[in-house]
Amino acid sequence: MTAGPSGPPERILVVGASLAGLSAAHALRAEGFAGALTLVGDEPHAPYDRPPLSKQVLRGLFSPDTTLPRRPELRAEFRLGTPASRLDCEARTVTLADGSTLPYDRLLIATGTRARPWPNPEEASLDGVFTLRTRDDAARLSARFKAGPKRVVLVGGGFIGFEVASTCRDLDIPVSLLVRDGQPLAAALGPRLGGLVGTIAQERGVDLRLGAEIERMDSEGGRLTGVTLKDGERIEADLLVAAIGAVRNVAWLEGSGLAADEGGVLCDGYCRAIRANGDIVPDVFVAGDVARWPNPHQGEALVAVEHWGNARAQAEAAARNMLAGPATGLTRHDHLPDFWSQQFGLTIKLVGLADGADSLAVVHGSLDARRFVALYGREGRTVAAASIDSARWLPAYEAAIREGAPFPPIEGAIDQPRLRIEEP
């Protein structure tokens, strides 16, 4: 088997049929790939969109069928409901759970993540205990919401937890949100803005429990009846959603030689899979939530970015690089991470990486008005910009972040309060 560049591909296999997989497939066709294209998905559904699941779908406004549009020129074969179970880089084949073997000339790994299960399997299997990742999860949970639960307990201080809490309040369902480390949304927004969103949640009637941890779940006849906290307090609830993060789908890569672990599948800035020793694995590419790569916007630190925008951008970069011949240059994936969240009637947007910031400044509007742009600084440079209901200036700050502009980069702008540098 040669390790050098191979000829133009005839068969491209995409393992993972969600946003990244479908985006890559579309991009491959748009770039002129005319060969055989196969997408493998572990879920029985055609590629669908996840952001509405925790919001409109859960609230009953959208059907759980959030199937993503597919262009007529896609002409792809879908192998749905059958997860991949093994990769053989030497033979250039992927084996599926049903035993069938698919050969490839180029492979894209876009297997994403699944919801992190509740650590106690007995409690996790109780009727009334949920996680939320798939459209089937959302359909089941939405039905339970419709039935009018007495109280929902949410575990986890991330965006899923907050969005589900917001949906509960929209439906007038009593809800307790338990944030174990006491710092809501801190990983994404930092303590200051995360705390602000926590306050807003409380104002909208969320029973926010900072520092609360579950000692045990209480049940009767296999049905959840409530939770007992470490401090002994009991919360009566018939539904619990564990929104405690995600696990990357890498188990099928065991023995493949790829550097894949709970942190993701390692690849370079051109989406090419690499081995633990740093060698490039020929013709294998990685994109989406499962990918971990040296991010140029974080000093080449290895990061995985679990956001919608990154999944698309990285898939498109991977697609171009899968088709790049010796004469065409490779496309560097240098997407600046961004995300949005809608909750409690607010639109929160962030561009850049706020994690690790050492300072914060509100540059438009005000926190009190809940309408603002805030910048994050790190070692004197602007690294991220967050907005609530004022996203229109974000493109200007995105440009500043890309240029490594000083912090804060823009003073004296319109609608700008007197600048005060705070802890993030």
Task: Note whether 287 and 18 are within 8 A (CB).
Answer: no
Q: Smallest distance, Å, CB 400 to another protein? A: 10
CA 373 to chain centre: 23
Pairing of strands 264-266, 260-261: antiparallel
Contact region for another protein (CB under 8 A) — 77-85, 141-149, 269-277, 391-399? 391-399
Q: Smallest distance, Å, CB 389 to another protein? A: 11
How many residues of this chain interact with another protein, rule: CB under 8 A? 15
Give 267's DSSP letter: B
Q: Smallest distance, Å, CB 410 to another protein? A: 6
Contact region for another protein (CB under 8 A) — 54-62, 83-91, 294-302, 404-412? 404-412
Distance CA 238, CA 224 (A): 5
Residue 367 touches another protein, criterion: CB under 8 A: no
Distance CA 76, CA 26 (A): 9
Binding characters for another protein, 141-160, by CB under 8 A (x = yes): --------------------
Q: Smallest distance, Å, CB 278 to another protein? A: 37
Sheet with strand 272-274: strands edge to edge = 77-80, 36-41, 11-15, 106-109, 280-286, 272-274
Residues 324-349 as b/e (b if ≥16 CB within 10 A, e otherwise) read: eeeeeeebebebbbbbbbbbbeeebb
Residue 332 touches another protein, criterion: CB under 8 A: no
Distance CA 364, CA 57 (A): 33
Residue 415 touches another protein, criterion: CB under 8 A: yes
Residue 380 touches another protein, criterion: CB under 8 A: no
Residue 29: which residues within 8 A CB-CB, separation 6 or more? 37, 71, 73, 74, 75
Residue 183: which residues within 8 A CB-CB, separation 6 or more? 157, 191, 194, 195, 210
| Residue 42 one-letter amino acid | D
Site for another protein in 334-363 (CB under 8 A): 363
Q: Which is nearer to another protein, 46 or 396 (CB)?
A: 396
* DSSP H or E run through 90: none
Q: Which is nearer to another protein, 48 or 393 (CB)?
A: 393
Q: Which is nearer to another protein, 349 or 364 (CB)?
A: 364
Distance CA 21, CA 78 (A): 11
Distance CA 171, CA 312 (A): 32
Residue 399 touches another protein, criterion: CB under 8 A: yes
Q: Which is nearer to another protein, 74 or 396 (CB)?
A: 396
Q: Smallest distance, Å, CB 391 to another protein? A: 10
Residue 412: which residues within 8 A CB-CB, separation 6 or more? none
Q: Which is nearer to another protein, 210 or 405 (CB)?
A: 405
Strand partners, 176: 153, 207
Residue 410 touches another protein, criterion: CB under 8 A: yes
Residue 412 touches another protein, criterion: CB under 8 A: yes
Q: Smallest distance, Å, CB 61 to another protein? A: 19
Taking CB under 8 A as the criterion, the residue among 349, 364, 370, 378 binding another protein is: 364
Distance CA 353, CA 336 (A): 8
Residue 215 touches another protein, criterion: CB under 8 A: no
Contact region for another protein (CB under 8 A) — 165-173, 224-232, 259-267, 407-415? 407-415
Q: Which is nearer to another protein, 239 or 375 (CB)?
A: 375
Q: Cα–Cα distances in Å, from 167 out to 137, 141, 156, 210, 242?
A: 15, 12, 15, 20, 15
Q: Smallest distance, Å, CB 292 to another protein? A: 32
Q: Smallest distance, Å, CB 375 to another protein? A: 11
Q: Smallest distance, Å, CB 369 to another protein? A: 9
Residue 419 touches another protein, criterion: CB under 8 A: no
Residue 171 touches another protein, criterion: CB under 8 A: no
Residues that bind another protein (CB under 8 A): 363-365, 392-393, 395-396, 399, 410-416
